[in-house]
Structure 1
Amino acid sequence: MLRDNKEDGFSPGFMLHLWTAQTDAVLDCIRENGFSQVKMEFIDRKYEESAWVFKEAYGFFKQRAGLLVKPPEGAESPIWLFFDRSWVYLSQDSFLLELSIPRERAVLFGRERWQKVLNLSYVGKDREDEARFEQKMNQMGVSAYWEVFQSPFYPYLKSEIKKSWNRIFDIDNMDQTNLGAAVWQIRQEDVVGINSHSASEERDGFSGK
């Protein structure tokens, strides 16, 4: 049984084995400063015209995650981590980092539910609940979720949608294959392996071994 609290099966001090893809610039930052963390301006640059959608979703996640794990000064957005390396998208200019992170520094959430938040969708208790909400939207003449957020005419729908997003942290009985994790910082001591597209460049952490 998994819950996002001290009874989730991952007791305080338990080390989570996680993976993430990061650029060489991030690795340089970790080497120079001992850690790396994200600024919201990175989200603006990365997503450009669609940045408002991600700001809405990331703003929610940041606020809620900050109640679960206190962010250090300067950390403006969580860093996404995965329990399975096969879930990580590795571009040509990125490195696959293998991490070992204490449970108390990580926020756990449902990955599929998070995708719904990124789509500004309603996160229902079940499929029937989601169908009910979509029917309500249709009856009000709303055909897409983004309309709710870009129009001033649906404050109650917007409030109900955003309230439903809290369900991404309801991970009771959720299998680990459906879990995602996030941290506010990647620290040098977290990195136990660095893998590039070339097997010859695989090494343990920052030791270069």
Structure 2
Amino acid sequence: MKNQNCIIDEKVKLWTRQHENVLKELEQKGVYRIKKEYITQKLDTLSDYYLHVYDWYVKRAEKIVERPEGVEYPIWLSTSSELMLQPTEGTIVLALEVEKKYAVFTDSEKWGYVMNYWYVPLNDEDEELYNKELKRYNIGDESALYMGHKGNFYPILRNKIVKSWERIFENNLSITKTTQATLWEIKKEWIVDVL
């Protein structure tokens, strides 16, 4: 499939894989929003791990695009048909065309660092300096600075990690191979295709 990533008249085409029941909810209500219970059902015992980062993301993303009242968490989308999650049993892929002003764009590679509770480096040199700093303090697992007791002993390092997460929002207006998007909700009228 050819990459269909494009911006048309301040609109962007996005793709999201969702449970097939989402389409029913969109038909009935005209809008779909993620609820915390959906995340806890889907992620089961890992939900607490993810919700810590999602809570941070919500607080930061709502400064970029206002979060509608009643919305708990964002919906994740691909900005490229080549990189979208493929449908699996019980799921569908919704192709949307949305005004850019409703989307928060982030770097998916940097988001991977955040999901692991790691420092997001500026570049290779910055990463090397940070790793030397961890070695100097004999820290082998940097996620322990956020998730474990080591953050109590090294609050400056812990804060350095959290501050670095802001970097996922850099260049949030241009779309590249590593760009992903979130929306606070999906409106029925935004759907252009169901795969």
The interval holding the TM-score normalised by the smaller chain is 0.7 to 0.9
Greater Cα offset, 177-186 or 130-139 = 130-139
Aligned residue in 1 for 2:163: 163
Shift of 1:47: 2.2
The normalised TM-score by structure 1 is: 0.82
Shift of 1:173: 9.3
Equivalent residue number for residue 96 of structure 1: 93
Tell whether the 8 Å contact from 1:53 to 1:120 is kept in structure 2 after alignment. no
Query: AA paired with 2:178?
Result: N
The one of 100, 103, 108 equivalent to 2:105 is: 108
**1:29-68 alignment to 2 at 5 Å?**
29-68=25-64
| Residue 188 in structure 1 maps to residue 188 in structure 2 | yes
**Aligned twin of 1:128:** 125
Structure 1 unaligned residues grouped into runs of 5+: 1-9, 196-209
Equivalent pair of 2:105/2:173 in contact (CA under 8 Å): no
1:180-207 deviation per Cα after TM superposition (whole angstroms, max 9, x unaligned): 1110001000101011xxxxxxxxxxxx
Kindly provide the amino acid, as one letter, of the partner of residue 146 in structure 1.
S
The answer on whether the counterparts of 2:15 and 2:84 sit within 8 Å (CA) in structure 1 is: yes
Q: Give the distance between the partners of 1:123 and 1:130, measured in 2 at CA.
A: 8
Q: 1:27-72: per-residue Cα shift (whole Å, max 9, x none)?
A: 1111111111111232223223332331222112111110000111
CA distance in 2 between partners of 1:139 and 1:160 (Å): 16
Q: Is the 8 A contact 1:36 1:185 kept in 2?
A: yes
The residue that corresponds to 1:198 in the other structure is none
Aligned residue-pair number? 185
**2:45 alignment partner AA:** E
Q: Deviations over 1:83-142 (max 9, x none)?
A: 212322222211111100001100111111111111111001102111211221222122
Task: Describe the shift of the 1:172–1:85 C-alpha distance in structure 2 as closer, same or farther (beyond 3 A).
Answer: closer
The aligned amino acid for 2:131 is E
Aligned to 1:75: 71
SS in 2 for 1:180: strand
Q: Does 1:146 align with 2:118?
A: no
Aligned-residue identity in percent: 28
| Distance in 2 (alpha carbons) for counterparts of 1:46 and 1:158 | 29
CA RMSD, 1 decimal: 1.9
More displaced 10-residue stretch of structure 1: 32-41 or 162-171:
32-41
Q: Deviations over 1:4-29 (max 9, x none)?
A: xxxxxx79x61101111111111111
Report the Cα offset of residue 174 of structure 1: 6.0
TM-score under structure 2 normalisation? 0.87
Deviation at 1:146, TM superposition (A): 2.2
